[in-house]
Amino acid sequence: MPNDNCLAGFICPKCGYDTDLRIEVLRWVRVSDDGTEDEGGDTEWNDKSPCACGNPDCAYTATVGDFNELSIVSKTKKTDLPKLLSKLKTDAGLEALEHRLKGRAR
Ligand SMILES: [Zn+2]
């Protein structure tokens, strides 16, 4: 079943893994001389945040934006596009792939 919350539309561009990603996040913490204290606020990231595949056998590292299906479709060489068919999970990703594949036929 595809992700439909935090990771909707995100997969590893190398292995297709989508269970979890490792993301360097932005988070406010209280820092005193004794160390840090997490105040439980929001955890934030953006397309430029460093990101690694959660599959320990892969661990491909790039940015969050590079793990977005639409970005993967636009950056993949046309000859490698058919390999994405079995990896992409969302309708938006598959539509973008279909659009690029049709473009090749013209
Ligand atoms: Zn991976």
In this structure, is residue 29 part of a structural domain?
Answer: yes
Ligand 1: centre distance to CA 35 (Å): 34
- The answer to whether residue 76 is domain-embedded is yes
Judge contact between 68 and 38, C-beta under 8 A.
Answer: no
Q: What global pTM score does this model have?
A: 0.85
Indicate whether 98 belongs to any domain.
Answer: yes
| pLDDT, tens only, 35-57 | 999 988 899 999 999 999 999 99
Average pLDDT over the chain, rounded to an integer? 93
**From the CA of 66, how far away is ligand 1's center (Å)?**
12
Q: How many domains does the chain have?
A: 1
Tell me whether residue 16 is in a domain: no
Ligand 1 mean position, distance from CA 69 (Å): 13
If you measure from the C-alpha of residue 59 to the centroid of ligand 1, how many angstroms do you get, rounded to a whole number? 6
- Judge whether 35 lies within some domain: yes
Domain assignment of residue 97, given as a range: 21-105
Helices of type H across 1-106: 69-75, 91-105
Task: Tell me whether residue 13 is in a domain.
Answer: no
- Residue 15 forms part of a structural domain: no
Q: What is the distance between the alpha carbons of residues 65 and 85, in angstroms, rounded to a whole number? A: 20
Separation of CA 106 and ligand 1 centre (Å): 33
